[in-house]
Amino acid sequence: MKRWFAVLLAVLLLCWPLAAVIADEALTEVMRTLAAVKSLQAEFREEKTLAMLQQPLVTTGRLYYQAPAYLRKQTLQPQPEDYTANGEWLTLDTPEGGQRDFNLNGYPQLRPFVEAIRATQAGDQATLERYYRLEFQGTPADWTLRLTPLDPTAAGYVAAIVMHGKNERIVSVETLEPDGDRSLMIIDLTTIESP
């Protein structure tokens, strides 16, 4: 019995590096297909579950992406808000705060949040690895990418960001916070346009 266990353990240990290589190759393929998307527009629905609220806060709107570094999240309901990342700049436009511009180089706590979606959609694995530990599961046709912040300050705001995708499209983004709050953004693939 011990010999069979030893043989099984040896087989599992030999397969471990092979599984890691296959996952690395699949991640590389997903990044390549994401990078091929030069622009897109899609509708989203986001549910934020907060401990202080009895029901989730639901927002809807549109996402816009233009390679390599333009990402806009335009919330339409329940109130208009606009977040635009363009190169090194993040512009926030809210009814209560008006328009404010932030240079991402001066706000290192904001950059990882912007890059989570922007660098993933750009297929920029090097940028993702600068801010996150990447855990990939699945195949290029149906994949999940978990981003865990490397920076302790960022980890104080977000425990992980989990993206699910199909081929070259991100279909959902789940943000898990250390206190148990979470948000889940579903991107409606039927509304995706590639202008």
For 122, the token pair is: 């750009």
CATH number where 84 lies: 2.50.20.10
pLDDT at 7: 55
Give the residue ranges of the chain where pLDDT is below 50: 16, 18-22
pLDDT at 20: 47
Q: How far apart are CA 4 and CA 7, in angstroms?
A: 5
pLDDT at 192: 59
For 27, the token pair is: 């991640």
Instruction: Report whether the peptide linkage leading into residue 78 is cis, meaning its omega lies within 30 degrees of zero.
Output: yes
Q: How does DSSP assign 71-100, residue by residue?
A: EEEEEEESS-EEEEEETTEEEEEETTTEEE
pLDDT at 2: 61
For 55, the token pair is: 């029901």
DSSP-derived 3-state class of residue 188: strand
Give the number of domains in the chain.
Answer: 1
Q: How far apart are CA 122 and CA 44, in angstroms?
A: 19
DSSP assignment, residue 181? -
**Domain coverage including residue 84:** 2-193
- Report in angstroms the alpha-carbon separations of 121 from 36, 48, 113: 9, 22, 13
- Report in angstroms the alpha-carbon separations of 103 from 16, 37, 51, 73, 109: 43, 26, 32, 18, 11
Q: Give the up-direction half-sphere exposure of residue 156: CA atoms within 13 A in the CB hemisphere.
A: 5
- Report in angstroms the alpha-carbon separations of 116 from 3, 13, 22, 138: 47, 33, 23, 19
pLDDT digits (tens, 9 = 90+) for 48-103: 988 787 888 999 999 999 998 999 999 999 999 999 999 999 999 988 889 999 89
